[in-house]
Structure formats: structure tokens, C-alpha cells
Amino acid sequence: MKLYKTEAIVLRARDCGEADKLLVLYSREYGKIKAMAHGVCKPASRKRGATQPFCHSRFLLHRGRELDSVSQCEGLEAFPALRSDLGKFGYASYLAELVDALTPESEPSEPLFLLFLTTLRLLTSNDAELLTRAFELRAACFAGYRPQLEVCVQCSGPLYGSLRFSPGLGGVLCENCWPVDPGALPCNKGIVEILKLFLRWHPARLSLLQVSRPARNQLKELMRKFLTYHLERRLRAIDFLDKLSAAGP
Ligand SMILES: [Zn+2]
């Protein structure tokens, strides 16, 4: 089988030579795939639209010895609302970078594909910040980094008193245990409950959630440190998002 079909979201598209692009796709059937799209930078190319970052497209790919190539493609959803708003564009770019960082090649996860697609759809008209936090946590779980939120990650006892979150130990520490990790972040019952809702609720329901600015900042810090710990690097889109939020609405 030299040719194969797949439905995918474009994670990255890098110019290669005069007219080609090297694509990184997250596909429903095969997980992450790298593929060359030949001639896509030519103004008349019909592949142009379908190969833009975070476009949801259908691909016919040709299996190559070293690298697959795009034989045909058809755009299904281009998310124009995410391209016309700098803030939403920043969030969508971050989600794509995160999926790329969390996934190895050729390991399919349909739940992650569907979560990514649903979140991109919801980003166009919803609370982008909370959707992104929920996405971070769920995507981390799919990648095998599920934090312990039910009991203390150190002593397995109930969560009582003032709590901390330890990115390294992978969960919440009770009042008794938090000195075991001096790098643990301030946390509280309310934050833990929101994290649990992120895992339980469909992302569409998050718009019902009222979360204060201080709690949002705490969630951001916590998820960021948790992901940086596992990825062992900081993602580029984070700096872009930070610059945007520093510039204000
Ligand atoms: Zn404990």
C-alpha cells in the first residue's frame, strides 16, 4: 500500500526549498506524521489552503522510503476566526505546539485527536484561556502524565489543610507532606476541584464555569510548571501568549 488516506490537523508547516513545505500532521488514524507537500507554496497550488497550520484536512499520502508526501488534500475546516484574532491565533498555535511536543510519531490516539479538534472549534467563540487549561491537563493525561488529584501524592492520605502541587511528584501534597518538595506550588481545594472538572466535563461545558483572575493565574502557573517538568523545555508559543497578555486586551 503505497497510498493511504487520513484525516488530520496540521501542527506545523515549514518552508522547504523554493515551493515545498514540510508538514507535521496529527492524524486520527496514525498519530503524528511528517510529510512533504510539494509545490504548495506556488500561488496556484490547490494544496495551499489545506496545509496551513491547524487546518483540519483530509489527506491522501504517498508512503516514501524516508519521508511520506502529500498526493492530494482537501480542507475540511480552516478556522478563519482563529486566524483573524491574534489572541486566538496564539492559543491555537500553542495547542498545536503542545500536541507536537507530547506525542511521538506514529502512535495514534483518537481521543487526543478528537479533543484537539473539539477545542479548536470551541476556541472560536469561547473562553480560550480555560479551554486551553483543560486541554493541557487532558492532553498530558493522554500522554501518560496524569496528576494525582484525589489523595496526597506522597502519603495517599486525604487532602486537608493548605495544599501544594508538586510538578515533579505529579500531584497534590497535603499539609503534612508538602515540605518533601520545596519547589511545590501553592494550591487549594478550589483549584483541585477545577482541575477535576477539567477532566470530567466536556470542554463545551467549561463556559459555565466562573473562575476568578487569581485562580486563573494559579492554574496557568501550575499547568505550565507541570508540562515544562515533563517536556523538559518551554514551548515557544508561551512567550507569544505572554507578550499578548502583557499588552492587554
Ligand atoms: Zn500527604
pLDDT of residue 217: 95
**Which amino acid, 173?**
L
Q: Which residues of the chain have pLDDT under 70?
A: 1, 249
Helix (H) or strand (E) holding 5, with range, is strand 3-16
pLDDT at res. 249: 59
The predicted structure's pLDDT at residue 161: 87
54: its cell numbers: 491547524
* β-sheet bridge partners, residue 32: 26, 105
Q: What is the whole-number distance in angstroms between the Cα of residue 140 and the centre of ligand 1?
A: 23
pLDDT recorded at residue 237: 86
Domains of the chain (ranges plus CATH)?
3-78 (2.40.50.140), 81-247 (1.20.1440.120)
| Residue-level pLDDT at 1 | 66
> Rounded to the nearest whole angstrom, what is the distance from the C-alpha of residue 223 to the centroid of ligand 1?
21
State the chain's mean pLDDT as an integer: 94
The Å distance, Cα 184 to ligand 1 centre, comes to: 13
The amino acid present at 208, given as its one-letter code, is L
| Distance of alpha carbon 142 from alpha carbon 130, whole angstroms | 18
Distance, CA 149 to ligand 1 centroid (Å)?
Answer: 12
Distance (angstroms) between ligand 1 centre and the Cα of 206 equals 30
How far away, in angstroms, is 168 Cα from ligand 1 center?
15
If phi > 0 it is left, if psi is from -120 to 50 it is alpha, else beta; for residue 192 that is alpha
pTM of the model: 0.94
First to last CA, the chain: 51
Q: How far is the CA of 163 from the centre of ligand 1 (A)?
A: 9
- Cell numbers linked to 49: 489552503
Instruction: Round to whole Å and give the CA distance between 186 and 169.
Output: 14
Inter-axis angle of helices 86-102 and 213-231, to 10 degrees? 30
What angle in degrees, to the nearest 10, is found between the helix axes of 128-142 and 213-231? Answer: 30
Give the Cα separation of 121 and 79 in Å (integer): 7
Query: Across-strand partners of 8?
Result: 27, 57
Question: For residue 222, how far is its CA from the centre of ligand 1 (angstroms)?
Answer: 19
Tell me the per-residue pLDDT of 215-234, one tens digit each, with 9 for 90 and over. 999 999 999 999 999 998 88
